[in-house]
């Protein structure tokens, strides 16, 4: 086993500015509990906390999910799993992406399950595991039923890999098998049904099923049960976000867990005819008050949000000029003190800005808004 890379970059967190992401752990627990109430008896939930818990905090989100009844966790890369282990989390952890075979021994040592998508990976990892004298490595075989990303593409190839695992039970534990649906969050189920048929063709070559059989991401779990297994991978729903973006109604109330607030760094009177920000894309038509906020696209707030709004004192205030790397400007109805609270995502009075609202204006999906919220923005955890 090769020595693990131990270079940790400095994480700069903005503790001395007022920009803060508030994460409501009670909302996370509510969403997990609500989904577990709908699952069939004997079905387990692995909470997906990859990408820093979709921007909400890897360890904190993971612990909240486990408190609410999840029995395992899913991540995207091995380092996320190692971070959870270092935090004292002992439940099963599955790495959903492909990990280089050279780290097979490290994963086995830490009892971390790895995804495998072809026989070559197994044949490469085998001698490394034997050389390291590692404990058997837990494996989940990924199947490509139509996502086109990773995994076995033909049932015959799957059967060969399963036979290989059986012949090398001293090195591998065949713990799980899974696929991922590409269109489970869409109303048209044609492609979803095609993937279900391919899944069944794969299952037909298995002499026996492993402990975990899982096809359900959040969208599949919410709206489909055609070929569910005995475990679901609950992801974006944990954080109160609808995977369809709202085009399909969730069967229960998803409670958004994150809000984003700041305060003014500067408030000034802008004379008519004066311009704001790079490119001078905004020019005041009349005298007005302008507030500068200490947050920008380096923090994950999209550059293209000019013309959108934030909430100040329960009112919508337009973002004027281009969003800068570290700051943005808004037009105010009148002068405000610099310590006035400003809401970029969340509720202020009777007004609310959802993460979906931000995503819609930015021309993207709320997954991207959540996961690109930068590490400079401190997460403050609350139970409300």
How sure is the predictor about 1, in pLDDT bands with cuts at 50, 70 and 90?
very low
Q: What's domain 258-364's architecture? A: Beta Barrel (2.40)
Q: How much of the chain is in helix, strand and coil states, percent to nearest 5?
A: 30, 25, 40
Q: Percentage of the chain surpassing pLDDT 70?
A: 97
Task: Evaluate if residue 196 carries a pLDDT over 50.
Answer: yes
How sure is the predictor about 81, in pLDDT bands with cuts at 50, 70 and 90?
very high
Yes or no: say if 311 and 332 are a contact pair by the CB < 8 Å rule: no
* Average pLDDT, integer, range 174-181: 96
Count of Cβ atoms closer than 10 Å to residue 247 Cβ: 10
The CA distances from residue 93 to 47, 76, 84, 262, 347, in Å, are: 9, 10, 9, 35, 35
Q: What is the C-alpha to C-alpha distance for residues 156 and 324, in angstroms, rounded to an integer?
A: 53
Yes or no: say if 52 and 329 are a contact pair by the CB < 8 Å rule: no
Active-site annotation holds for 50: yes
CATH of 25-239, one of 3.40.50.300, 3.20.20.10, 3.40.390.10, 1.10.3720.10: 3.20.20.10
DSSP-derived letter for residue 247 is S
Q: Which residue ranges make up the annotated binding site?
A: 149, 325
Count of Cβ atoms closer than 10 Å to residue 321 Cβ: 21
Q: What is the C-alpha to C-alpha distance for residues 163 and 179, in angstroms, rounded to an integer?
A: 19
Q: What is the C-alpha to C-alpha distance for residues 62 and 74, in angstroms, rounded to an integer?
A: 9
Residue-wise pLDDT for 305-337, tens only, equals: 999 999 999 999 999 999 999 999 999 999 999
The CA distances from residue 250 to 16, 31, 196, 241, 255, in Å, are: 39, 11, 22, 10, 11
Q: What is the C-alpha to C-alpha distance for residues 369 and 326, in angstroms, rounded to an integer?
A: 16
Tokens for 328, please give them: 């943005």
Residue-wise pLDDT for 98-140, tens only, equals: 999 999 999 999 999 999 999 999 999 999 999 988 799 999 9
246 contact partners, CB below 8 Å, separation of at least 6 = 356
- The closest alpha carbon to 327, from 290, 359, 358, 357, belongs to 290
Q: Which residue ranges make up the annotated binding site for substrate?
A: 149, 325
170 contact partners, CB below 8 Å, separation of at least 6 = 136
Q: What is the β-pairing status of strands 172-179 and 212-214?
A: parallel
Active-site annotation holds for 209: no
Give the active site residue among 50, 138, 239, 367. Answer: 50
* Residue 232, beta-bridge partner list: 45, 216
Task: Evaluate if residue 178 carries a pLDDT over 90.
Answer: yes
Residue-wise pLDDT for 31-62, tens only, equals: 999 999 999 889 999 999 999 999 999 999 99
Q: What is the C-alpha to C-alpha distance for residues 116 and 133, in angstroms, rounded to an integer?
A: 20
7 contact partners, CB below 8 Å, separation of at least 6 = none
Query: What is the residue-averaged pLDDT of the chain?
Result: 95
- The closest alpha carbon to 179, from 218, 147, 155, 222, belongs to 147
Q: Would you call 277 helix, strand, or coil by DSSP?
A: coil
Q: What is the β-pairing status of strands 112-116 and 93-98?
A: parallel
Count of Cβ atoms closer than 10 Å to residue 345 Cβ: 25
Q: Percentage of the chain surpassing pLDDT 90?
A: 89
- The whole-number pLDDT of residue 5 equals 54
- The whole-number pLDDT of residue 53 equals 98
Q: What is the C-alpha to C-alpha distance for residues 322 and 327, in angstroms, rounded to an integer?
A: 10
pTM of the model: 0.94
Domain boundaries, the chain: 25-239, 258-364
- The whole-number pLDDT of residue 3 equals 54
Residue-wise pLDDT for 210-262, tens only, equals: 999 999 889 988 888 766 789 999 999 999 999 999 889 998 999 999 999 99
Give the active site residue among 166, 209, 278, 335. Answer: 278
End-to-end CA distance of the chain: 46
- The whole-number pLDDT of residue 226 equals 63
């Amino acid at each position: 086993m090769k020595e693990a890379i131990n270079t940790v970059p400095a994480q700069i967190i903005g503790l001395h500015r007022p920009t803060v992401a508030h994460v409501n752990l009670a909302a996370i627990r509510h969403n997990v509990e609500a989904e577990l109430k709908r699952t069939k008896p004997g079905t387990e939930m692995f909470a997906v906390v990859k990408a820093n818990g979709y921007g909400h905090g890897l360890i904190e989100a993971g612990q909240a999910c486990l408190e609410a009844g999840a029995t395992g966790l899913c991540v995207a890369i091995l380092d996320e799993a190692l971070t959870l282990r270092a935090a004292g989390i002992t439940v099963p952890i599955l790495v959903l992406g492909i990990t280089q075979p050279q780290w097979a021994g490290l994963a086995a040592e830490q009892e971390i399950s790895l995804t495998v998508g072809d026989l070559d990976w197994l044949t490469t990892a085998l001698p490394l595991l034997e050389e390291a004298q590692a404990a058997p490595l837990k494996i989940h075989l990924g199947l490509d039923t139509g996502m086109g990303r990773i995994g076995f593409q033909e049932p015959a190839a799957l059967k060969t890999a399963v036979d290989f695992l059986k012949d090398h039970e001293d090195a591998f534990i065949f713990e799980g098998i899974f696929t991922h649906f590409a269109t489970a969050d869409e109303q048209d189920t044609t492609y979803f049904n095609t993937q279900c048929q391919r899944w069944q063709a794969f299952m037909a070559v298995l002499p026996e099923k492993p402990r975990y059989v899982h096809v359900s991401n959040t969208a599949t779990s919410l709206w489909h049960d055609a070929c569910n297994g005995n475990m679901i991978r609950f992801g974006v729903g944990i954080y109160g976000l609808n995977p369809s973006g709202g085009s399909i109604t969730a069967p229960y109330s998803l409670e958004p867990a994150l809000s984003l607030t700041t305060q003014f760094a500067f408030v000034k009177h802008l004379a008519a005819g004066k311009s704001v920000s790079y490119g001078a894309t905004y020019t005041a038509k009349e005298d007005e008050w302008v507030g500068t906020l200490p947050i920008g696209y380096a923090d994950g707030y999209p550059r293209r949000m000019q013309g959108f709004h934030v909430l100040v004192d329960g009112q919508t205030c337009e973002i004027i000029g281009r969003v800068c790397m570290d700051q943005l400007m808004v037009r105010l109805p009148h002068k405000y003190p610099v310590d006035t609270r400003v809401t970029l995502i969340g509720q202020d009075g009777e007004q609310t800005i959802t993460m979906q609202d931000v995503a819609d204006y930015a021309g993207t999906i709320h997954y991207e808004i959540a996961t690109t919220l930068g590490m400079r923005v401190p997460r403050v955890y609350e139970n409300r």
